[in-house]
Amino acid sequence: MEGSFSTLGIERRLRARYPVRLPARYRTLDQTETLSGVGLTVNLSSGSLLVTCQHEIKLGIHMEVQVDWPSLLESTIPLQFVTAGRVIRSQQSAFAIEFARYQFRTMRSKPLPKPFAFVQGVPAEL
């Protein structure tokens, strides 16, 4: 029976993840490395967010991510979900940020540019 848990594919995350595909803008907050770009959210939990990206983001770096939220404030005002935190997972074309803080902000009227999906490291317009 030993080792049987690993073969069952048990979810080790403490918080449920929800698939959410929304336009996002990201930027580094560290002064040592300045990167910014646009991408798409992949999934969201109560403590973290996975985002596609145009750059290779280093583990531990502090980032801010702005997500165009699908719900409207008072049925008319666009919202953005804005979070900042540390990168806890990084892949070639995606990173996960753990929330240190977050808030909803009213959004400018101009939407984000259309993001790209990265298929095997090659950008492809969605």
Look at residue 9 and tell me whether its pLDDT is greater than 60.
Answer: no
Closest listed residue to residue 82, CA positions, set 30, 126, 22, 18: 22
Q: Is the dihedral of CA 33, 34, 39, 43 positive or negative?
A: positive
Separation between Cα atoms, residue 109 and residue 100, nearest integer Å: 27
pTM listed for this prediction: 0.74
- pLDDT tens digits for 74-112? 888 899 999 999 999 999 899 999 999 999 999 765 555
Domains of the chain as residue ranges with CATH: 13-108 (2.40.10.220)
pLDDT value for 8:
47
